[in-house]
Structure 1
Amino acid sequence: MSITSTVMSAPHVLETGRDVRLYARSHPCPNTSGLAPTYLQANLLILPSKYASDFRLLCARNPVPCPLIAESSAPGKWDSIRSYLPGLDGEAILTDVDMRNDAPKYNVYKDSKLVKFGCSNIMDDWTDDHVAFLIGCSFSFESSLTKAGLPPLHIIMKRNVPMYRTSIPLCPAGVFTGSTFVVSMRPYKASDIPSVRNVTRAFSTTHGEPIAWGWDAVKVLCIEDLDSPQWGDVPITQDGVPLGILSGDDELVPVFWGCGVTPQEAVMRTNLQGVIMAHTPGHMLLLDCKDSEIVA
């Protein structure tokens, strides 16, 4: 994987979640980390309705990697949702939306096999039987980290956050068995980790505080190569050096959070039949509510 950033430029007018959605309907759009600061971002997974109840149970049993925010108001509804966030109804979370077209990029799976990667919309794949699920995204607490003087390095470097498969098993639910956590990684000074934990702990609906940190965590999570993430960009320092070269140095250590790509990994490991759709990792659906509305 190239160390060159995959981030594209976007207009500075993308200040709200709605701005990003409307722009994404008709323009190429970058990965969404750092866009519309303070507005929540969501992972998207779209399933045939026969799998909906099992997926709700998967989220309930695995709330750290799969915090469920909302779902389609009824099968086939791509323009309205019902909320699982306390105190926020569906219209407070998302209005004027087309979930088939408002994420910057999508993946499409057929019979659990990836058949389309990074497509601009899923208009031809959506049916009246599909149910869209919105899962919390760790991009949603990055504004608070930045405000606290702890900006994530991938934002500074204008890159996509790296994401990794791990060995941590998910609690199974119905058809969803045999899968593991996916984690996102943001490096910090070892001395900053207590502050990072304090800032992100309040965001339980967007993965909350990190689940592991430090160089030993790479082995504990069974990540084979920190410089070869399964999704996102290779992590680099501000000097452009791959992060893995610093192994053992407390000046900059990897910090890992649960990641909403976990449901896509669960789909890949489960023999689900039919067409399943999702956002392309790093290219989230922007919402209308703000991070301040979901802080615990």
Structure 2
Amino acid sequence: MKEEKRLDLVIIGSGPSGLTAAIYAARSRLDFIVLEDDLIGGQIRSTYVVENYPGFLSIGGQELVDKMYEQAIKAGANIDEFDPIISVRLTEEEKVVETENYIYKPEAVIIATGSKYRSLPIPEESTYHGNGIHHCELCDGEMYDGKDIVVVGGGNSAVEGAMFLSKYGKTVTIVHQFDTLQAEKRLQEELFRNKKIKIIWDSEVRHALGESRLESLQIENIKTKEVTNIKADGVFAYIGMIPKTELFKEYVKLNVWGYIEAGETTETNVKGVFVAGDVRSKIIRQLTTATADGTVAALMAERYIVEKRRNK
């Protein structure tokens, strides 16, 4: 029989929005826990450099996350990163979060689970995943020192990844489905100055090829339909994100892309359930908007808890 714990608040996720919510929840003297089944810090941890977060001209993603984590702990946050969630039940009347070890029954919940990288839509993705096909240049880039590297995508993550990987790769080739990049202009300018990086436009990956290891990619020009093979020892794919909402879809309202719907108060369609960060349906997803969500969610959760007790 699992031990039941009654708390004011459960925060699910420890990315920038979850850690920010934890800082504010601790300062509000709420009895709460942060649950995380992956690395603390979310996607920002794998960002090579952050140059658009107020207060820092330039800082590594991991260093910034470590500072947030330290601040949350010093404020009094309780963070458990080794107890995966099995199931949730989220209604106005009752909120239950069951992990492998405990059953939590909080007054309020903040969902800050973020998103995960979208897999390459090719038949061989599972065969080479983690062994030829990757999503984190900081984690796996050094494996391809002196090798031929391919980056798939054209947004900020792809451009930043390509520039970082150019430190290791003999060659770095970007394969992009459009004829222009979607990354910020400043990043594009820096990329175009890097003589080690070339771009193949209007093309998509169709197959990963190789016997005992990845050796090449089959790509197709979507305009001319020409199919060619390019050498690739390692592939880093940055083709979008998928919100991590599978646990909650039975209870909270999702938009057509799977993001949780909530307005500026961050409260979902279920009273007492709030959402923060990249998992929330919104126009702009940036580090600063994630921390803003975390702030609002924690303060609104505290207000909800106080008003609920006052009305009992």
Q: Provide TM-score, normalisation by structure 1.
A: 0.27
> Highest Rg: 1 or 2?
2
Q: Provide TM-score, normalisation by structure 2.
A: 0.26
